Amino acid sequence: LPCQFVAYYNHKLHDNNDILFQVQKDEQDLFESFIKRNSYICGSYDKEDGFIRLKVEIETVGSRLGACPNRIFYLALPPSVYCTVTTNIQKICTCKSANAWTRVILEKPFGKDTQSSFELAKHLAGLFNEDQLYRIDHYLGKEMVQNLMVLRFANRIFAPSWNREHISSVTISFKEPIGTYGRGGYFDEYGIVRDVMQNHVLQMLCLVAMEKPISLQAEDIRDEKVRVLKCIAPISADEMVLGQYVGNLDSHIEEHRISYVDDPKVAKDSITPTYALAVCRINNDRWDGVPFFLRCGKALNERKAEVRIQYREVPCDIFPAGQVKRNELVIRVQPNEAVYAKLITKQPGMGFDITETELDLTYHERYKDIHLPDAYERLLLEVFCGSQINFVRSDELEQAWRIFTPCLHDIEKNRRKPVLYKFGSRGPAEADELMRQNGFVFTGTYKWKPFSSR
């Protein structure tokens, strides 16, 4: 593939700038070949002269190729400069030839609420066609998130029970063991709901809850996502638990002793949440009455992202009270990618006791010699190929903000204080209580173990 990478930034490179790559020993030659294809332009985001130099660099590449090159612009920028940068790109740096295309990759956040997102979408629509815009949510590139559609629509055993008659609740979790120290300036402006729940977690909900698309074409899949989003009522602030981590002074790990507000870029009286649990309700025939628990947080006890589908209790249970636990289907997104189902079986032996176990597909055991690509590897390749299956369309974004904007404005207007929780804990106990009140059953001490720890 004859491609060239041109970096554009508003600071100069220095000789002591390190190249931050982890290179495998057998990939050193590929890495050196890649580095040779890179060049660098220093320029301002809001002045045209830098973009003119960028245009000259791109045209120099084109002259070597003997054609106007296709162009992908990947914007990993502060949201405050999106409008000026995209305006300059469209005005100066795009190829006007009908034989070449321009694609623009945009990183979140795509606004802070319905109004700001609408204004950004309107601005972009005035510059580019929708098929040129790739709003990236890297969770859509993760192996197990992509597997959700296959599990649902390629396995008949799930179809009859994937509804309110059999499923009691769905919990979608995103947990990180690290805090926000060092990026507090950005995080304090947005908070955990805007940073994670409104995008990563909601996208996973769409894949769990949407109807079967008529094909695997990008527009058919995204149409179904929009349809299910339109069925979701705006989340009520009364059905949310918000938390903010404080330092755990009993910890021997220095990072765990740091509170969120200890970041020098965060105000000491900040009420920005670093943890959130929300109850989401889908008003359609399939999911009416089934709570979807959206849960995400920083500085928690583990790194984990998963979808947990809890089934209803067995009717007319003939076994001793309390022995039969609820079945669960768990799709483990990270780490240790896996799909496992919690089942009740007979305890081996002469007696007739029952026990809880699982049917387990752990990816690193079943597919030992297969490389699972990084999410960005997969998504950037899809941009090269022109596939928008795993990118967010403008009307998806509109519906996502419709769901979250009212509760965000309510929380901010009333300056609702988050519940404090210790760094390294499970988060606020109030979150577990809200889940119990809405029908989730914590089924005891059983916990799935990856093969590596068995």
CA dist list (Å): 85 to 89, 108, 119, 341: 6, 15, 15, 48
Same domain, 164 and 61: no
At residue 323, the pLDDT reads 74
Q: What is the average per-residue pLDDT within 37-47? A: 86
Same domain, 86 and 159: no
Q: What is the average per-residue pLDDT within 101-106? A: 93
Same domain, 79 and 204: no
How many domains does the structure of the chain reveal?
Answer: 2
Q: Indicate the pLDDT class of residue 74, thresholds 50, 70 and 90.
A: very high
Q: Indicate the pLDDT class of residue 451, thresholds 50, 70 and 90.
A: low
Residue 204 in domain? yes
User: β-strands 354-362, 338-346: how paired?
Assistant: antiparallel
Is there a contact between 344 and 356 (Cβ–Cβ < 8 Å)?
Answer: yes
Same domain, 412 and 273: yes
At residue 190, the pLDDT reads 92
**Which amino acid is residue 346, in one-letter code?**
K
Query: What mean pLDDT is reported for the chain?
Result: 88
At residue 299, the pLDDT reads 95
At residue 452, the pLDDT reads 56
Rounded to whole angstroms, the Cα distance separating 431 from 429 reads 5
Same domain, 207 and 348: yes
Q: Indicate the pLDDT class of residue 39, thresholds 50, 70 and 90.
A: confident
Which has more confidence, 144 or 446? 144
Rounded to whole angstroms, the Cα distance separating 215 from 230 reads 20
**Which structure tokens are listed for 352?**
């007739």
Same domain, 344 and 302: yes
At residue 15, the pLDDT reads 57
Nearest CA among 226, 180, 187, 182 for reference residue 203: 226
Rounded to whole angstroms, the Cα distance separating 181 from 247 reads 12
**Which structure tokens are listed for 106?**
């945009």
CA dist list (Å): 176 to 143, 170, 189, 343, 424: 19, 20, 19, 28, 9
Domain that holds residue 37: 5-107
At residue 368, the pLDDT reads 76
**Which structure tokens are listed for 399?**
């519906």
Rounded to whole angstroms, the Cα distance separating 380 from 3 reads 13
What letter does residue 369 receive in the DSSP assignment?
T
Residue 387 in domain? no
Residue 416 in domain? yes
Same domain, 198 and 85: no
Same domain, 369 and 432: yes
**Which structure tokens are listed for 132?**
């040129």
Percent of the chain beyond pLDDT 90? 56
Q: Indicate the pLDDT class of residue 397, thresholds 50, 70 and 90.
A: very high
200 is catalytic: yes
**Which amino acid is residue 280, in one-letter code?**
C
Question: Of 11, 14, 123, 200, which one is the catalytic site residue?
Answer: 200
What letter does residue 78 receive in the DSSP assignment?
-
* H helix or E strand, kind and range, residue 148: helix 143-153
Residue 83 in domain? yes
Segment 338-353, tens digit of pLDDT: 888 888 777 788 777 7
Q: Is the pLDDT of residue 454 over 70?
A: no
Same domain, 173 and 95: no
Instruction: Determine the length of the chain.
Output: 454
Same domain, 187 and 68: no
Residue 386 in domain? no
Q: Is the pLDDT of residue 34 over 90?
A: no
Same domain, 198 and 285: yes
Rounded to whole angstroms, the Cα distance separating 226 from 246 reads 38
What letter does residue 322 receive in the DSSP assignment?
T
Nearest CA among 364, 368, 390, 367 for reference residue 377: 390
Residue 198 in domain? yes
Alpha-carbon radius of gyration of the chain: 24
Is there a contact between 369 and 339 (Cβ–Cβ < 8 Å)?
Answer: no
Which range has the worst mean pLDDT, 40-44, 250-254, 316-320?
Answer: 316-320
Segment 294-303, tens digit of pLDDT: 999 999 999 9
What letter does residue 212 receive in the DSSP assignment?
P
Q: What is the average per-residue pLDDT within 437-442? A: 90
What are the φ and ψ backbone dihedral angles of 6, each rounded to 5 degrees? -120, 115
Q: What is the average per-residue pLDDT within 118-136? A: 94
Q: Which of 107, 126, 156 is the last residue of a domain?
A: 107
Q: What is the CATH number of the domain that holds 33?
A: 3.40.50.720
Q: Is the pLDDT of residue 222 over 90?
A: yes
Same domain, 148 and 58: no
Residue 247 in domain? yes
Residue 132 in domain? no
Rounded to whole angstroms, the Cα distance separating 58 from 96 reads 13
Q: What is the average per-residue pLDDT within 39-44? A: 86
Rounded to whole angstroms, the Cα distance separating 209 from 283 reads 11
Three-class DSSP category at 353: coil
280 DSSP β-pair partners: 292
